Amino acid sequence: MNLLQAIILAIVEGLTEFLPVSSTGHLIVTSSIMGIAKKDFTKLFTIVIQFGAILSVVVLYWKRFLGKIDFDFYKKLFIAFIPAAVLGYLLKEKIDTLLESPIEVGAAFLIGGIIFLLLDNWFKKAEERGADELKSNASAFKIGLFQTISIIPGVSRSAATIIGGLTQKLNKKAAAEFSFFLAVPTMLGATVLESYKYIKGDKLHPLGHVIHSHDIKLLLIGNAIAFIVALIVIRTFINYLTKHGFKVFGYYRIAAGLVILILHWAGVELNML
């Protein structure tokens, strides 16, 4: 991976991590187009630069995370985090095989887009109620169950958790913000686990990997860019979502899904693993 490729991937991560469009799907497609998707360091890079995006949430909502300690807030985050942590650990190897074909990613984009076209009408009553806080631990756990759907490549973690929040009678702003909060333990856990596995090694690479100074430079630059872009995106997304709803994201997902599927059926190879 060269510097330009690292910058492009970091921008894609910052743009898509907190939008309901699937950052994983976009990173898979982008790295495939650049011809680096099969490289081990690319897989590590796309995981580790999530830390920059995580940091943007903590900085923007620092009072929530670093201000007066709110044990109920942290308890709800932990409860919501559990389902994805357990299911992700148990099914990680099987899920990774889904990356071998672009069909799953394209189909997930397409189906998710159709759902997003319907969301504003489905949850109009939840928006009218205007709840801005989760009322129970059970609601947090249910949102966590929705997050497990995003284990499938192409299914947006942000989209899944926002929909989960809407089912628990949160308004769009509150559902999006809880999705951001939940991203912190979820993405941090994934970053630490994947980094450890990369360095320690696995069945395919029993001796592990050595991270060189060039790799460290790319990781630092990638995290910095992902952090800055994500800062801008989070604020913009909250304002746009509150005023305009989900439909534009639905149209985008449908278009992106159709492009991926058409390219695949036309014989254009997207090497996604």
Q: Write down the pLDDT at residue 102.
A: 67
- The dihedral through the CA atoms of 21, 83, 45, 226 has a sign that is positive
Q: Write down the pLDDT at residue 206.
A: 47
- The dihedral through the CA atoms of 53, 55, 56, 61 has a sign that is positive
Residue partners of 237: CB distance under 8 A and separation at least 6: 18, 19, 176
Measured CA to CA, the distance from residue 213 to residue 215 in angstroms comes to 5
Average pLDDT (22-37) is 82
What are the residue boundaries of the structural domains of the chain, listed by start? 3-265
**Distance between terminal CA atoms of the chain?**
15
In tens, the pLDDT along 96-110 reads 555 556 677 788 888
Instruction: Specify whether the CB–CB gap between 166 and 172 falls below 8 A.
Output: yes
> Which tokens go with 91?
């099914």
Average pLDDT (52-68) is 87
β partners of residue 131 = 170
Q: How would residue 131 be classed by pLDDT, with cut points 50, 70 and 90?
A: low
Q: Write down the pLDDT at residue 52.
A: 92
Return the axis-axis angle of helices 3-16 and 40-48, rounded to nearest 10°.
40
* 23-27 contact pairs (CB < 8 A, 24+): 23/156, 23/157, 23/158, 24/153, 24/154, 24/157, 25/105, 25/108, 25/109, 25/153, 25/154, 25/156, 25/256
Average pLDDT (227-243) is 89
